[in-house]
Every structure is written in C-alpha cells, then in structure tokens.
C-alpha cells in the first residue's frame, strides 16, 4: 500500500486551496523548497506565479485582492526572501488588504543561531501584520492555515504571516486537515447591531440641512456600496470619497463630488468645510483628508462608522459613532432616514463645481492630466485603474472617475512607490477579462520594473502608461513651493528609454508619446495591442504641479485651488 | 515646559492573553510605538494554563492611553484589556530590600519592619533582606524609612490587581 502520509507543506497547500486561495505569488529559496515541492506533489489547483523580486509578489497579491475582493497568498523563502516582503506587507496593512504571506524558515533547532538565511521575520513584521504565526509543529498547520485565512479576511482585513521552519514543512502532518479554529480573543464584528445608536444617527441626519457623506475603503470592503448609494439618494446628500474610497460610490453620480483633502477637488473639500454634518462610512479620518485635526469640521456634527473600534476617536472625536460592518449598519439606517431639503445646499456646491472645476491646458506641452482624461474617454472608464504613488496618482484620482467597487487600486496609507506595476499584474490575473490600466511615474516604475518579465511571460495585456517627467515630481513640487525651488535628490537623470526596454521582453510592446496631438492615436494603439503588456513612455512636461492643494498640517479651508502667488512657509504637518 | 506627571497619568491595565510565544512582544510594541513607558509589568499563568494575566502600569496622557487600550484589544491574542486606574480594586505589590545593617542598628530596622508587617527573609552580620507586601504607597513609605540605612539592592514586583467581588479583573 502506498504511504498516504503527507508532510506539513502538503497540508498547508491543501488547506489553503480548501479555504479558497486561487493564486500564489512568490519566489523560491532553500528554506522553502519543501513548500515549493508541495505545489507539485499535491496537484493543487492553486496557480503559482514566479516573480522576480519578493516585494513584487506581495503587491501582486495586494492588487489581486483589491481587484477581486478575495485574498491571494505569497510564498517566499527565509532571510532576504522574507525581508523583501516587508514593504508589501506594510502597504497591505495600512490599506486593510487581506493577504497570507508564507515564509520558509531555517530548521527550528537553528532558530536564533544566525543560520544561513535566517531572519526573525516573525519579529520583524510584528508591527505591520494583523497577526502572525511561527509554526513549530506540522500538526498545527491545518489549524493555522484556517485561522490565517479567517483573520486576514474578516473584520478589518489585513496581512497574516506564517513562518514555517524547513523541518516543520518537511515533517509529517498526521493531524486531520479539518481543524477547529482557536481564536478566543478575536471578535471581528460586534455581536449585535446597536439599533438605538442607529436611530440617533438617523435623527441627526434628519435634522441636518447641509450633510456630507464621506466614503472610505471600509464601504468597499464591506460591500456597502449599494447601501451607500441608497442612503445618498434617499437623503439627497452630497458624497465625497477618500483616495481609497474611490468606487465606494459612483463618481459619475450627480451627488458625487469626488475626492477630498490634500489634493482633492475644491468642491469636495469645500463641501466638507461648510457642512453641518459629516457621516464617515469606513474612512479613518486620515491626515491627508482632515488637515489640522482640531480645526476639522469644527461646527459640524461628526459621525463615524467603522468596523475597527481603535479608529473611533483616534484622529477626530466624533459626536456619534457606531462600530460594526458598514453594510449592516447602513441597511438598518436606510429604514429610518427621509429625504432632506438639500436643494439649496446642492446648488451651492454645484456652484463651486462650476467655479473651481478640475482643469489643465492641452497646450504648452504634454500633460499627465491630458493622457488620463483621454484614456478615460477612450475606455469609457470601464477598466481597473491602478496607480503608483506621486503626482500622477493624485491627478489620476482627480480625473479618473471610478464607478465600480474594485476598480481603483492605489497605495494610500503607505504611499508605496513601486506598488503600481506588480499590483496591476495581480489585478490582471484576478480579472483576466477586464482591461487593466496602470498609471505610473518614472520613479516608481523603476522600483519594481523587474516584474515586466512576469507580465510579459504571462502575456498580460496591461496598459502601462509611464508618466515620464524625469523627476520625482511630488517632492520636486514641494521643493518648488516650500523650499525656494531648491531641487535636491529629485532629478532622475539616466532614465532608460522605457519603450525600448519593454521591447526586450518577449510579448512586450513599447510606444512613445511626446506630443499632445498624438495622445489619442498612441493610446488607441496601446489599447489595440493584445499580445501582452503595452508600455507607453509618455514624455510629459517636467515641472507641472498638482492643484488643488492643502499644505500639510494646515486646516483644509486653507486649500490652494491654484498655484500660490506668494512665497509659502514650510509645512508643519507630516510629509 | 514639560508637563509634570500627575496621578491620573499613571495607569494600571489588566490584560488577559493567550499564553503563547510572542504575545509579550506584541503588547510591548503597542506601548513603545506610541512613546509610552511601561513602569511595571507582571505576567503569570491564569487558572486556565492556556491564558496569562498581565498587569501593566504605564505613564502617558489619558487620550493616548485610550488608543493603547484599543490597540491592545485588537491584538488577536488579547482576550480582554481593562483599565483599573482609579477603580476600587485590590492592588498589591511585593518588595525585597537588602539593607546594610550593623548589629547596633538591627533593633531599629526590625522595629520599622515590624510596623509595616515586613518579614526578615535573610539575616547576616552586616545585612538583612526585608520582604514587604502591600499597596504601592505602603512599600514606598517603608523603603523611605529604611533609606536611613544603606539600601544595597531593591527589587519590586510591580503591581498586581484583582477586581473585587463579582467584577472581572
């Protein structure tokens, strides 16, 4: 009779497949060999994607999760393989993205002895994971796999790390693969819905004359989008969103005012400045959107709905709050609200919309905004939009209207340059039939462009628009505005020709865009190419600045709709 | 100007946690990341050996402390975290003080010990170790008095607390 015993690695792969993991992104290495072997010996349905750098694997899993709502796994080896995942784990943690990261580890009797490729990844990642495991017994693996998936995906989602010494992954697992979870300290949602609190919130809303709904990523995570729309329409209230809340409420809706905050639309920010009530649905009142905390909405009733109790009162002390799942709360709240007399308020805000529209000039060189605007028109906005971090990210947030729940991918809390390309790859794996458009700067692109190999190998038809201004543009903008234009550490001289670069990979296509008159033509050609990724190297003007802008640390009413004419003081806020 | 610490800035937390490796590190990080200093920390197994009880005293502003408590509650391995500051709970601490005592001083030292219900747990020609239990104030008072002799070493356990009657600690 054949030996039917399995090892820890096989148990892990079997259990993750059973939990629903479809994709695993990673890179092999010595301590992870038993885990990689199990991918073969178990005949698993999990599809493994080999990356070129472990950071890319984490962003791919992140992009996959944001684009599909389902988690993916990351599989890497010990030591440097594990530490290379740190940025991606932190990015996912900041933006509440579910992820399961499996790291190989030195054999357990060598732990703490500086063995070859040993790193205390359990300790190193502790502040940036939702939870983590160092597995010491192969029989624990079925329970750990199940708990990890459950923790990563419920409540406020986040990354979970499982560190597995090589002797454990190679050791026999004799435990039943169906194990009960043992998580007495984990309560992802409140046990009951506080209906009285919901009535109080409804009463406050019903008394409001100038309400604003603030939609954050929490609304997207809890799939509360339909409930948000119902609430906005019932109340006839304007809606603003955070960077990560894009898609939580359709930005093409008549009640949508777009993103608020540091680089939000002037009309969204002004709506928040002038409102008499702000209801946050799954936003954490991040410093990018509130400016100076003690001056934020001083005279408005502030209501905070969040699944994470630790967010209540962290930045803003709310007048009313409720901890729980956004959809469950809004579904109940919608029963108790009535249409408000907001005609005058909306007309007032629409006045701002007309007075301070988003704008750019098509003359005077090639503008990033022009490219985004044109891409939006060519695609009808029917695409998964992915960004990297910096100026292009803010313009994309302004000009690319997002309607769908999982159609906007951007590193918000962490602001991780290098996120874009691998995240777009992950998104395309998760949504093979949908168009994926990546807007990227030349700085961020070069941080993870090794993943061009991954994208080209798999013939992923991603549209990669490299907004090439030969600068780290956002920092250059700050230096211009606040540091007397002393440029320091921002000049990206030495950029390669990105269009020629991608042509070196099989299936990759490169295009060059230099003139505003060619925008439509080149983007159309990019959209027509189906044989793999198509990169457009867009040589944009070097010194365009993003506005509106709220200088960091200032109250948001101090927003600059247009470039300032006078010299600016150095900002006091964080970055 | 540096704000002086007042009594309300010193907090006593009781944290009930899973008895697993790494839990203490996770908890310590919650304090350290926010610049809180842990003054004392007592960890011991609870009735159910799968769980441990931690009693932590820490200094910091009350608003920040509320964030610390919420962050502790968020940890997967934390079952509950209760702030016992300003509550009427049973609080005890134990101190060992090794004092340099000549035979001539011994009587006076023993009188002080007797007054505070302290025990002599070690006695030599030139020193004694006093063990005292009680509230923090009581320990402070006794240690203050024996300082007239030379205190060679002092070890305190830090506070342990337990809620009274039907209340959960």
| Intervals of CATH 3.40.50.1220 along chain A | 195-355
Query: What is the pLDDT, as a whole number, of residue B3?
Result: 43
The long-range contacts involving A490-496, CB below 8 angstroms and separated by at least 24 positions, are A492/A442, A492/A443, A492/A446, A495/A442, A495/A446, A495/A468, A495/A470
What are the catalytic residues of A?
A: 54, 116-117, 166, 474
Model ipTM value? 0.92
Task: Give the span between the Cα atoms of A344 and A210, in whole angstroms.
Answer: 9
Sites in chain B below the pLDDT cut of 70: 1-8
pLDDT < 50: residue spans in chain A: 1
Q: Which of A83, A87, A77, A71 is nearest to A426 (CA)?
A: A71
Domain A368-547 falls under CATH 3.90.1300.10: no
Considering chain A, tell me which residue range(s) the CATH 3.40.50.970 domain(s) occupy.
6-173, 368-547
Domains and their CATH numbers in chain B: 7-83 (3.30.70.260), 90-161 (3.30.70.1150)
Q: Which CATH architecture has domain A195-355?
A: 3-Layer(aba) Sandwich (3.40)
| Residue A489: other Cβ atoms inside 10 A | 8
DSSP secondary structure of B67-126: HHHHHHHHSTTEEEEEE-TTS--EEEEEEEEEEE--TTTHHHHHHHHHHTT-EEEEE-SS
Residues 6+ apart with CB under 8 A from A482: A551, A568, A569, A570, A571
End-to-end CA distance of chain A: 65
CA separation for the pair A210, A200 (Å, rounded): 17
Count of Cβ atoms closer than 10 Å to residue A402 Cβ: 28
DSSP state of A555: B
3-state secondary structure of A67: helix
Fold of A6-173: Rossmann fold (3.40.50)
Q: DSSP letter string over A90-123? A: HHHHHTT--EEEEEEE--GGGTTTT-TT---HHH
Touching B: A residues 356-415, CB under 8 Å: none
Number of CB pairs < 8 Å for A and B? 41
Nearest to B71 among A126, A183, A310 (CB): A310
Q: How far is CA A176 from the centre of its chain?
A: 37
Q: Cβ neighbours of residue A490 under 8 Å, at least 6 residues apart?
A: A471, A472, A473, A475, A476, A479
Gap between the Cα atoms of A511 and A441, Å rounded: 16
Rg (CA), chain A: 24
Q: What is the pLDDT of residue A482?
A: 94
Put simply, the answer to whether B66 touches A313 (Cβ < 8 Å) is yes
Does residue A392 contact residue A441 with C-beta atoms inside 8 Å? yes
Asked if B33 and A127 come within 8 Å (Cβ–Cβ), the reply is yes
- Exposed / middle / buried, residue B122 (Cβ in 10 Å: 0-12, 13-18, 19+): exposed
Q: What residues of chain A lie within 8 A of the CB of B26, using their CB? A: 126
How close does chain A come to B146, measured CA to CA in Å? 43
């Amino acid at each position: 009779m054949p030996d039917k015993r399995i090892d820890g690695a096989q148990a892990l792969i079997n259990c993750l497949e059973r939990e629903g993991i479809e994709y695993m992104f990673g890179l092999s290495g010595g301590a992870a060999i038993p885990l990689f072997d199990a991918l073969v010996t178990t005949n698993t349905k999990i599809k493994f994607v080999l990356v070129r750098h472990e950071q890319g694997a984490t962003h791919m899993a992140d992009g996959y999760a944001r684009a599909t709502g389902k988690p993916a796994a990351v599989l890497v080896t010990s030591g440097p393989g594990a530490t290379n995942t740190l940025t991606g784990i932190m990015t996912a943690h900041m933006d509440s993205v579910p992820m399961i990261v499996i790291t190989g580890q030195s054999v357990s009797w060598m732990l703490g002895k500086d063995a070859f490729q040993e790193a205390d990844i359990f300790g190193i990642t502790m502040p940036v994971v939702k939870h983590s495991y160092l597995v010491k017994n192969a029989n624990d693996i079925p329970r750990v796999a199940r708990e990890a998936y459950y923790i990563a995906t419920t409540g406020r989602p986040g990354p979970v790390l499982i560190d597995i010494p090589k002797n454990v992954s190679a050791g026999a697992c004799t435990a039943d693969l169906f194990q009960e979870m043992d998580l007495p300290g984990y309560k992802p949602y409140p046990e009951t819905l506080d209906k009285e609190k919901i009535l109080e919130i409804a009463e406050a809303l019903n008394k409001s004359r100038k309400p604003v709904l603030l939609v954050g990523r929490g609304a997207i995570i809890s799939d509360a989008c339909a409930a948000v729309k119902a609430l906005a329409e019932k109340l006839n209230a304007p809606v603003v969103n955070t960077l990560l809340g894009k898609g939580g409420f359709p930005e093409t809706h008549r009640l949508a005012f777009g993103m608020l905050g540091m680089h939000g639309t002037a009309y969204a920010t002004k709506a928040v400045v002038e409102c008499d009530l702000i209801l946050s649905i799954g936003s954490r009142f991040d410093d990018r959107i509130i400016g100076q905390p003690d001056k934020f909405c001083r005279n408005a009733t502030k209501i905070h709905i969040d699944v994470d109790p630790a967010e209540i009162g962290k930045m803003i002390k709310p007048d009313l709050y409720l901890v729980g799942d956004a959809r469950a709360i809004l579904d109940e709240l919608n029963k108790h609200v009535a249409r408000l007399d907001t005609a005058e308020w909306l007309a007032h805000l629409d006045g701002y919309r007309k007075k301070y529209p988003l704008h750019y000039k098509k003359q005077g060189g090639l503008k990033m905004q022009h490219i985004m605007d044109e891409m939006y028109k060519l695609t009808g906005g029917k695409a998964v939009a992915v960004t990297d971090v910096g100026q292009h990210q803010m313009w994309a947030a302004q000009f690319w209207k997002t309607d769908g729940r999982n159609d906007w991918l951007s590193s918000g809390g962490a602001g991780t340059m290098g996120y874009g390309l691998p995240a777009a790859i992950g998104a395309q794996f998760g949504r093979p039939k949908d168009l994926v458009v990546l807007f990227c700067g030349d700085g961020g692109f070069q941080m993870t462009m090794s993943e061009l190999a991954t994208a080209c190998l798999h013939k992923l038809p991603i549209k990669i628009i490299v907004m090439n201004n030969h600068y780290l543009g956002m920092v250059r903008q700050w230096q211009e505005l606040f540091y007397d234009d002393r440029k320091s550490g921002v000049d990206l001289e030495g950029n390669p020709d990105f269009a020629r670069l991608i042509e070196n990979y099989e299936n990759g296509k490169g295009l060059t865009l230099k003139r505003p008159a060619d925008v439509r033509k080149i983007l159309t050609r990019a959209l027509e190419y189906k044989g793999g990724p198509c990169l457009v190297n867009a040589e944009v003007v070097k010194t365009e600045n993003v506005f509106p802008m709220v200088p960091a640390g200032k109250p948001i009413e101090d927003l600059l709709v247009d470039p300032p004419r006078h010299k600016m003081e150095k900002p006091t806020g964080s970055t | 100007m540096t704000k002086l610490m007042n009594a309300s800035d010193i907090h006593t937390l009781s944290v009930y946690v899973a008895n697993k490796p790494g839990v203490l590190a996770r908890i310590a990080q919650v304090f350290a990341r926010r610049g809180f200093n842990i003054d004392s920390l007592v960890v011991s197994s609870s009735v159910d050996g799968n769980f441990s009880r931690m009693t932590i005293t820490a200094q910091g502003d009350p608003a920040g402390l509320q964030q610390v408590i919420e962050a502790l509650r968020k940890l997967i391995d934390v079952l509950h975290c209760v702030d016992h500051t300003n509550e009427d709970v049973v609080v005890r601490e134990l101190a060992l003080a090794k004092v340099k005592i000549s035979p001539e001083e011994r009587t006076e030292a023993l009188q002080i010990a007797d007054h505070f219900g302290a025990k002599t747990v070690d006695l030599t020609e030139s020193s004694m170790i006093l063990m005292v239990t009680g509230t923090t104030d009581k320990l402070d008072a006794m240690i203050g008095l024996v300082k007239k002799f030379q205190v060679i070493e002092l070890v305190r356990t830090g506070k342990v607390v337990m809620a009274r009657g039907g209340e959960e600690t």
